[in-house]
Structure 1
Amino acid sequence: MSSRPISSRFIASQIIEQVIEKKITLSIALHNNESFKNAGKDKALIQEICYGTSRWYLQLEHILNQLLEKSIKKKDSRLKYLMIIGLYQLLYMRIPSHAVVSETVETCKNINMGWAKGLVNAILRRYIRESDKLDPLLGDNEAAQTSHPHWLIEQLKQDWPDEWQKILDANNQRPPMYLRVNQQHHARDSYLLKLKEVEIEATATPYSKQGLLLKQATDVEQLPGFNAGEVSVQELAAQLAAGLLDLKSGQNVLDACAAPGGKSAHILETQTDINSLTVVEKDPRRAEKLSETLNRLNLDAIMKVSDINELDSWWDKENFDRILLDAPCSATGVIRRHPDIKLLRSAKDVNAICELQKTLLNTLWRTLKSNGLLLYVTCSILKQENSDVIKEFINNNNDCMLKPINAQWGIDTGYGRQILTGQDNMDGFFYACLEKKC
C-alpha cells in the first residue's frame, strides 16, 4: 500500500464494495469503516458519495459497462467501484470535472492499482466528452434509466399502474428532514420560535400536531434542546401511528419490533397516563438504540430483548389493550432514505418477509384483549406485504374486524390505508387497524 494519505474517494469505494459484494447495508458499512470514522471534515463528502452512488448505482454501472471495451476482471472489482463513484461525481455533484478525474486517477495508488491510472483517466474523460449522449448510453434499459431493479419496477407497475413512475422519481430524490416536538416540553409553535432564534427554518406539518418540516437538513446537535429530549427526528408518516392507536388512560400497550424507538417515544409523549408500555426488540444492538432513545427523552417502558414469536420468553399472559406491530418489511417505502435497499432486496426476500409478517400477526393476536386494537404498520409500498397480508388474516380469523381509518392522507385500499412515497412529501407507509371482537 502506498504511503500516500488515504483519499476520501478510496474510502467511499471501499464502502460501496462492501454493500455490493458483501450485501452489507450502507449504514452498517459506514459505521464499520474505521477510515470513515476518522475522516474528519471529509466525512460529509464520503457520505454524500456513498449515498448518491447507491441511489444511482444501477444507472452508473450500466454507463460504465458501455464505456468499457471489455469487462473488468473479478479480482480487480475495486477498480470498478472506484470508476463508478467517479462517474457519480461527474453526473450528480458540483465538483469540477478535472478535479474528479485527477482525484480518481490518483486514488488508484490507494488500491494498489497504479497500473490502471491510464484506464481510469480514459474512461472518465470519455464520459466527459460523450456526456451529451447519456440517453443513448442508457438505451431502452428501464432499470438503468430509473436506477431501480427490474423486479421492483415490474411489481410497482402491477400494484400501482397509475403511480409507479411517480414512485420511482420520488425514490431518487433526497429525503426531507422532519422533527417531532415533545409536547411534554413544548407546544409546536413555541419550539418553532426556538428554531427561529438559531436561524433554522421550519414549517408545521399537516396530519401530525407535533410535526415540523425543516427547510434544510440539520445536524441534530444544532437542534435546540435535542439532548434534553425536547425534540426528535421522525419522518412524518411514522408520526401517524400514535394517533391511530386511539390511546386511553390506564391501558396496557405493546410496541412489538420496537427499535429504534421513535413510535414508542411518541406513544409515551402523547398519552402519559397509560398504565404501561411494553417494548419488544429481538436484536440486542437495536434494543440498545431503543434504550438510548427512551433515555434521552427521559421516558420509561418495560423492555424485553426477545423474539416476539417466542411468547414464553417475554409475555406474562396479561393481554394488551393496544398493540403496535411495526412489522419487518421490504422497506420499499423508504428507499429515498436508504437507497441501498434497491441493491440489497430481491423478490424472493419479499416472499419470506410476508411469511414472517403473517406469523407475527397470528402470534400477537393471542395477546390482544377483546375489543382491543392492533395497528399493523409497514414502511412498504408493496400490496403483497400490506393489503394482501391483512385480507388473508381477516379471512382466517372470525374475531377480527377491520376498523376504517378516516383520514385525508394516503389511499384507502379496502384493507388499510397506503401512503405512496412522495405523496404529501411523505415516505411510503401502510396502516391497518384491526379490532378484536368479543
Structure 2
Amino acid sequence: MSAGVATRVAAARVLDDVLHRGRSLKASLGTALPALADPRDRALVEAIVFAALRQRARFDAALAQWLSKPLGQRDHEMRALLHAGFAQLTLGMPGHAVLDATVEAVRALRRPHQAGMVNAVLRRAQREGLPPAAHGDAWPDWLAHRIRADWPQSADAIFEASAEEAPMWLRVHARATTRDGYLARLHEAGIAAAVDEDLPDAIRLDTSQPVQQLPGFDDGVVSVQDGAAQRVADALAPKPRARVLDACAAPGGKSAHLAERDPSLRITALDVDPRRVRRMQDGFARLKLAIETRSADAMQSAGWWDGVPFDAILLDAPCSATGIVRRQPDVLLHRREADIAALVATQAMLLDASWPLLAAGGTLLYATCSILREENAEQVEAFLARTPDAALAPLDATFGHDTGFGTQRLPGEGGMDGFFYARLRKA
C-alpha cells in the first residue's frame, strides 16, 4: 500500500471510529498516527480528519443529495472515506490526487465493488462543489437551541467560528527567551507568526506546525497553548511567593505559565487522574519547572491538604467544552443533554470544596472552556448567593464580554477559543 493510500485508509478508519463507534477523536488518533512513520503523513491524516468533522453536516448533506440510496450500517467505512475525500477537496488538494488515492483506498479497505460509486461522488463534488450547510446544522438540536438562547445575537458567528480551523497559539517561556527574540527565530525558520499586544507571552501561527519543527521546543523554550487559556495567568495574577493551587490542573499548561512568569510562586498542581499527573510531570520536566504535583481529588481535601490556606486558587473546571469545538469537533457527536446538569453539579461542588482552602484576602479564578451560561455566569451567580464572604472582582474588556457574573470570550474572537473567567475575592 502506497503512503498516499495508507493515509486515506487511516483517516477513514479514524472517522469511522468517531462517527459510528462513539470513540473519542483523541483516542482514535492516538492509535492511528503512530503507525505512520512520516510526520507529514501524520499531519495529513490529522488535517483530513479535523476538516471532515468540522464540516460533517455539509458532507452529509452532499451524500443525501447525490446518492440514490442512503449508505447503510455495513457502509459506515465508505461513508467515512467519502467524508475524508470531501475534506481533501475543501483543503485545496489537487483533485486528481484526491480521486486516485481515495479510490485506491476503497480497494485497500476490501470494498472494490464500491470504487465506482466513490469515484462518481468525488468527481461530482469536484465538478459542482459541495453544498453549503446552514448555521448550526452540525450541532445537536438541543445544544444549538441553548446556544441561540444564551447568545441570540452571536449564535451564527459562534457556529461559523466553531467550524473553522483554529490558529496555533504558542506560549513563550518568559525566563528562557523574550517573545520578540522567539518571533525572530520563527521568522528565520520561515514560519509566519504574529503577536497580540494583550497577550505578552503569546505568538499566533495561522498555519499549524508539528511541535518538533518549532525552534527550541524540546528545550522548553516554547509551548502550545491557546491565547484564551494564556489569559488565565493575567486574570489570577498571584503576588510573588504566593501559595497557589491549580485544582484541576491537567494537562498543566496554566500552572506552567504561572511558574514561567514567576519562579517564586509555590504551586501545587492537582489532578484526580494519575495518568494525567504523569503527563503533567513530563511537561514540567521539559520546561525545567519545579512544580509540586499530586494525584488527588480536589473535592476531598482531607486526603491531601496540609491545612495551610492558599493565596490564590485556579479552578479550571470540567465543562461541556462548547468553546473549543473547533479543536475538539467530536464534542458535537458525544455530548449529551444530560451531561450538562451533571457538569453543573460537579462545578458547584468544586467551587464549594475549593473556597475553604483560600486564605482571607485571596483570589479564586473560576474558568471554563464553555460558552453555556448555565456553566458560567449562572454558576457564579449561584455561588455568590450562597457564599457570604465571596465577591466578584471584575476583569476588563480585553478578557471578553461582561456577563454581570464573569467575563465570556466567544469562539474565534481575537483568533482565540471560547473561554469564561470569573475572579472571586475572599473577604
What is aligned with 2:76?
77
For the Cα contact (< 8 Å) 1:422–1:428, is it kept in 2?
A: yes
2:413 to 423, 428, 435: 423
| Counterpart code for 1:369 | A
C-alpha distance in 2 between matches for 1:35 and 1:233: 20
For the Cα contact (< 8 Å) 1:30–1:36, is it kept in 2?
A: no
What is aligned with 1:103?
101
What is aligned with 1:171?
162
User: Which deviates further from its counterpart, 387-396 or 198-207?
Assistant: 198-207
For the Cα contact (< 8 Å) 1:323–1:374, is it kept in 2?
A: yes
The structural deviation recorded for 1:18 is 1.0
User: Which deviates further from its counterpart, 364-373 or 385-394?
Assistant: 364-373
C-alpha distance in 2 between matches for 1:200 and 1:76: 41
For the Cα contact (< 8 Å) 1:58–1:149, is it kept in 2?
A: no
| Counterpart code for 2:343 | I
TM-score between the two structures when normalised by the length of structure 2 = 0.93
SS in 2 for 1:267: helix
C-alpha distance in 2 between matches for 1:365 and 1:300: 25
| Counterpart code for 1:265 | A
What is aligned with 1:220?
211
For the Cα contact (< 8 Å) 1:280–1:306, is it kept in 2?
A: yes
What is aligned with 1:121?
119
For the Cα contact (< 8 Å) 1:36–1:46, is it kept in 2?
A: no
| Counterpart code for 2:321 | A
1:210 to 201, 225, 238: 201
| Counterpart code for 1:261 | G
Alignment coverage as a number of residue pairs: 426
For the Cα contact (< 8 Å) 2:10–2:45, is it kept in 1?
A: yes
What is aligned with 2:272?
282
The runs of 5 or more residues in structure 1 that have no matched partner are none
TM-score between the two structures when normalised by the length of structure 1 = 0.91
- Residue 262 of structure 2 is aligned to residue 263 of structure 1: no
User: Which deviates further from its counterpart, 317-326 or 180-189?
Assistant: 180-189
What is aligned with 1:23?
22
Mark the CA change 1:400 to 1:421 in structure 2 (over 3 Å): closer, same or farther.
same
2:264 to 273, 283, 294: 273
C-alpha distance in 2 between matches for 1:56 and 1:331: 18
C-alpha distance in 2 between matches for 1:63 and 1:213: 34
1:319 to 298, 301, 309: 309
Mark the CA change 1:319 to 1:32 in structure 2 (over 3 Å): closer, same or farther.
same
RMSD between aligned residues: 2.2
| Counterpart code for 1:283 | D
1:331 to 316, 321, 325: 321
The runs of 5 or more residues in structure 2 that have no matched partner are none
What is aligned with 1:53?
52
What is aligned with 2:32?
33
Mark the CA change 1:307 to 1:4 in structure 2 (over 3 Å): closer, same or farther.
same
For the Cα contact (< 8 Å) 2:185–2:215, is it kept in 1?
A: yes
C-alpha distance in 1 between matches for 2:295 and 2:186: 36
The structural deviation recorded for 1:387 is 0.3
SS in 2 for 1:298: coil
C-alpha distance in 2 between matches for 1:108 and 1:153: 35
What is aligned with 2:88?
89
Task: Give per-residue Cα distances to partners, 1:351-409, cap 9 Å, x unaligned.
Answer: 22111111111111121122211100111111111001101111111121111213433
The structural deviation recorded for 1:128 is 4.3
Mark the CA change 1:29 to 1:407 in structure 2 (over 3 Å): closer, same or farther.
same
| Counterpart code for 1:182 | H
Structure 2 counterparts to residues 400-415 of structure 1, below 5 A: 400-415=390-405
For the Cα contact (< 8 Å) 1:390–1:415, is it kept in 2?
A: yes
C-alpha distance in 2 between matches for 1:52 and 1:79: 17
SS in 1 for 2:220: coil
| Counterpart code for 1:31 | G
The structural deviation recorded for 1:262 is 1.0
C-alpha distance in 2 between matches for 1:206 and 1:89: 35
C-alpha distance in 1 between matches for 2:61 and 2:225: 35
